[in-house]
Structure 1
Amino acid sequence: MKNNYIPLKVNREFGGIISVYFDFFKQNIKNFTNVFISYNGIFLIGLLITSYLLVSGFIGMIAQESGQSPFAENIGNEQEYFIYLGIGGFLFFVIFLGVAFLNYSLSTSYMIKYVETKDSNVDKKDVWQYAKSQFGNVLLFVLLLIPIYMVYFIIAVILAIIPLLGFFAQYIVQFFLTAWVGVSFFDMLANKKGVTEALGEGWKLVTGSFWKSIGVNFILGLLLGLLLMVALIIPGIIIGVYTFHVVENDVDYTNSIVSTIVYTLGLSIFLIIAVYGQCLSQFINGILYYALHEKTYNENTRAKIEQIGQND
Structure 2
Amino acid sequence: MNTPYIEFRNRNAFGDIINSYFLFLKYNFKKYTALYLRYNALSIILLITASYLLVTGFMGLASRDFRFGMNNDGEHTIYLIVGAIVLVLILFITALINYSFSSAYLANYVNYEGEFESKTVWQKIRTNLGTILIFIVLGAGLYFGYLIVSIIFAFIPIIGMLIQYGLSFLLTAFFGLSFMSIFSTDKNISEALSEGWSFTFSSLGKVILYGLVIGILNLMITMLIISIPGFIIAIYVYFSIESHVDLITSVFANVVFTLGFAMFLLAFIYSQALSQVAYGVLYYNIYEETNNEFLRSKIDQIGVNE
Shared fold (TM-score greater than 0.5)? yes
74, 80, 101: which one pairs with 2:96?
Answer: 101
Residue 228 of structure 1 is matched in structure 2 by: 222
Secondary structure of the 1:11 match is coil
Rounded to whole Å, the distance in 1 between the matches of 2:121 and 2:263 is: 25
Indicate conservation of the 8 Å contact 1:180/1:203, yes or no. Answer: yes
Residues 271-309 of structure 1: per-residue CA shift (max 9 Å, x gap): 111121111111110011001111111111121222222
Match of 1:151 among 136, 139, 145: 145
Q: Work out which of the residue numbers 185, 192, 203 in structure 1 matches 2:179.
A: 185
Q: Which amino acid aligns with 1:112?
A: A
Aligned residues: 305
C-alpha distance in structure 1 between counterparts of 2:192 and 2:79, whole Å = 40
- The answer to whether residue 258 in structure 2 is matched with residue 261 in structure 1 is no
2:215 is paired with a residue whose SS is helix
Supply the distance in 2 between the matched residues of 1:196 and 1:61 (Cα, whole angstroms): 49
SS at match of 2:154: helix
Could you say if the C-alpha distance between residues 26 and 255 of structure 1 is closer, same or farther in structure 2, counting changes exceeding 3 Å? Answer: same
Matches within 5 A, 1:194-213: 194-213=188-207
Identical aligned pairs, as a percentage? 38
For residues 208-258 of structure 1, the C-alpha deviation after alignment (integer angstroms, 9 at most, x for no partner) is 000101111110110111111011111111212223344444433343210
Q: Is the Cα–Cα contact under 8 Å of residues 63 and 249 in structure 2 kept in the other structure?
A: no
Amino acid at match of 1:36: Y
- 8 Å Cα contact 1:188-1:195 kept in structure 2: yes
User: What CA deviation, in whole Å up to 9, does each residue of 1:23-51 have, x standing for no partner?
Assistant: 11101101101111111111111011011
**Matching of residue 6 in structure 1 with residue 3 in structure 2:** no
Which among 53, 72, 86 is matched to residue 75 of structure 1? 72
Moved more, 135-144 or 81-90: 135-144
Helix, strand or coil at the partner of 1:104: helix
Task: State the distance in 1 between where 2:28 and 2:121 align.
Answer: 13
SS of corresponding position for 1:75? coil
Task: Quote the Cα distance in structure 2 between the aligned partners of 1:34 and 1:72.
Answer: 50
Question: How many angstroms apart in 2 are the aligned matches of 1:171 and 1:30?
Answer: 32
2:279 maps to which residue?
A: 285
Query: 1:197, CA displacement in angstroms?
Result: 2.5
The runs of 5 or more residues in structure 1 that have no matched partner are none
Counterpart residue number, 1:92: 87
RMSD across aligned C-alpha pairs, in angstroms?
1.9
Secondary structure at the residue paired with 1:161?
A: coil
Alignment match, 1:21:
21
Report if the CA contact (8 A) 1:31-1:122 is conserved: no
Q: Which residue identity does 1:13 align to in structure 2?
A: A
Equivalent residue letter for 1:54: L
Q: State the SS of the aligned residue for 1:100.
A: helix
Letter matched to residue 45 of structure 2: I
CA contact 2:182–2:188 (8 Å) conserved in 1:
yes
CA contact (8 A) 2:62 2:248 kept: no
Structure 1 residue 81: deviation in Å?
A: 1.3
Which residues of structure 2 form unaligned runs of 5+? none
Q: Distance in 2 between matches of 1:36 and 1:264?
A: 22
